[in-house]
Amino acid sequence: MGGSQLLSPPPKLLAALLFLLWMQEFYKLDNILLHSFALVNQQNEEKEKSLMLDASPNSAPQPFLPLFAPSPMGTPFFHNTTPKLSGRCTLNFPSVDSLMSTTAVDCWTSFAPFLANVICCPQFQATLTILIGQSSKETGMLALDSTHSKYCLSDIQQILGSQGANSDLQEICSIHSSNLTRGSCPVYDINGFESVVDSSRLLSACGKVDPVTECFSQICQNAVLEAANKLALRDGELMASFSIQNSLIEHPSKIDSCRRIVLRWLSSRLDTASAKQFLRRLSNCNVNRVCPLDFPDIKGVAENCGNMIKNNTACCQSMENYVSHLQKQSFITNLQALGCASFLGRKLQEMNVSTNIYSLCQITLKDFSLQAVGTQESGCLLPSLPSDVAFDPSSGISFTCDLNDNIAAPWPSASQISSSSWNKSVNFPALPAATSSQFGLIAADMMTCSCWCSYGTEIGCT
């Protein structure tokens, strides 16, 4: 099928996007973003239809790259401005130059809120960790003091902002200057760290993190936690009377502070690119486990679809209206969409909606991701291992979508409700490269979904 056609949108479509993005400078962003999706849909309707038909079980679909082009008419969409630096932050910014540029694009002004959960914030946090890790090689310290942390966080925001990032990353990603300090971890200098932690063991567990197996084997995550525990227990007071298990329960914030110290130390031992890769892979496991959407009250759907459905049209209308609220929120991954579909399905079942209304109303996984309100097939689900956002001066901002998303949302079955624990022997699905993604793998996804849902109070499937 015409994958290459997709990668370079037709001139007419591109022109429309160019215009919309130019308007973005003047109008409120979300409307424009959503409208630009609508326009893509309208103009490309025929093409999309044939595309979706092509995404049949037997074909291997190509990744879909939505393109958000720079604005025309000589207004540069991408402008480097000069950052206003405090002059009081000692972090070594030039050493992580290309990392910062990647982060600025991942957190691109208008897209940051929509990519916050999956791409922007994990990358922003990795950047902070690596900056402190790298500078520890000079200072010997794996944390900033509270004064410097304020200057540094502000400088980092300035630098990223000057390269096109959203100017409100701290708010979007809930980062405070205290996140750069030692928090309540008692050990935060390299010498102290290495006298407490078995560093070669830690490095061998985390030097090469597999993006798929790490999510269920947790080899690196467990090693990090173990090291964090040792640091946290360094106070002495707890040594004798608490087991490690108890200290986890008693001192979650201390363990968490120490966990950040461990990640910084690891980042100081790896080159920037490897450190970024390992941090993103770890955070990705957590990202995919949680549905990040806010679910409004489902009473309306329950009224129209609960018990015996009296009127299919009315039921599906209320369901479509409901999902339209979900579609204004965020780009999510295919695995998150499975978790979201499962969560909503359970909520509906609790309200006596026993019919599979996903099937009745043709709700697909993609319906849970950001898209134009009221139009179908205009959204995009990200792959379970989302790549960084790309910037190209001529074609603009782009990111890879997973085309395996046009399948019916799975309605949770009764057996899933009764299962009670995360079964680690069930593989986290491998859907990494969009190019190698196969429709058949979705079946593995569904199995995994049932696991997180019974596991996760975090997505509320209790």
Ligand X SMILES: *[C@@H]1O[C@H](CO)[C@@H](O)[C@H](O)[C@H]1NC(C)=O
> What is the contact surface with ligand X in residues (CB under 6 A)?
125, 174-176, 178-179, 311, 313-314, 317, 351-352, 421, 423, 425-426
Burial of 36 (0-12, 13-18, 19+ CB in 10 A): buried
Residue 129 vs 404, nearer CB to ligand X? 129
Closest contact distance (angstroms) between CB of 181 and ligand X is 9
Quote the CA–CA distance of 4 and 154 in Å, as a whole number: 42
Q: Which long-range contacts (CB under 8 A, 24 or more apart) does 317-326 make?
A: 319/357, 319/361, 319/363, 320/361, 322/296, 322/298, 323/363, 323/367, 323/368, 324/373, 324/374, 325/296, 326/293, 326/295, 326/367, 326/368
If residue 396 lies in a helix (H) or strand (E), which one and from where to where?
A: strand 396-398
- The secondary structure of 30-59 as a DSSP string is HHHHHHHHHHHHHHTHHHHHHHHHH--TTS
Q: Minimal distance in Å, beta carbon 433 to ligand X?
A: 26
Asked if 34 and 328 count as a contact pair (C-beta separation under 8 A), the reply is yes
Residue 374 CB, shortest distance to ligand X, in Å, is 16
Q: What whole-number distance in Å separates Cα of residue 113 and Cα of residue 315?
A: 32
> Which residue's CB is nearer to ligand X, number 72 or number 252?
252
Give the shortest CB-351-to-ligand X separation in angstroms: 5
What are the structure tokens assigned to 379, written together?
A: 């959204």
| 3-state DSSP assignment of residue 189 | strand
Which residue type occupies 229? N
DSSP letters spanning 370-391 = S--TT-SS---BBPSSPPPPEE
Least CB distance to ligand X at residue 106 (A)? 15
Looking at the Cβ atoms of 171 and 210, the one nearer to ligand X is 171
Closer CB to ligand X, 86 or 286, in the complex: 286
Of the pair 67, 175, the CB lying nearest ligand X is at: 175
What's the CA gap between 269 and 199, in Å, rounded? 10
CA distances from 374 to 35, 325, 327, 355, 378 (A): 11, 10, 9, 23, 10
- Give the gyration radius of the chain's Cα atoms: 23
CB of 175 to ligand X, least distance (A): 5
Nearer to ligand X, 376 or 423 (CB): 423
Nearer to ligand X, 204 or 352 (CB): 352
Give the shortest CB-116-to-ligand X separation in angstroms: 11
Check if the beta carbon of residue 316 is closer than 8 Å to that of residue 162. no
Least Å distance, CB 310 to ligand X, is 7
420 with 458: CB under 8 angstroms?
no
How is residue 130 written in tokens? 């690596």
Smallest distance, ligand X to C-beta of residue 217, A: 14
Distance in Å, CB of 118 to ligand X, minimum: 15
Taking the complex as a whole, the smallest distance from the CB of residue 320 to ligand X amounts, in Å, to: 12
CB of 317 to ligand X, least distance (A): 6
125 vs 356 by CB, closer to ligand X = 125
Cβ-based nearer residue to ligand X, 161 or 306: 306
Cα(441)–Cα(430) distance, integer angstroms:
7
Please count the other Cβ atoms lying within 10 Å of the Cβ belonging to residue 39: 18
**Which residue, 234 or 259, has its beta carbon nearer to ligand X?**
259
CB-wise, 127 or 437, nearer to ligand X? 127
When the beta carbons of 244 and 351 are compared against ligand X, the nearer one is 351
Q: Are 187 and 159 in contact (CB under 8 A)?
A: no
- Taking the C-alpha atoms of residue 29 and residue 111, their distance in angstroms, rounded to an integer, is 9
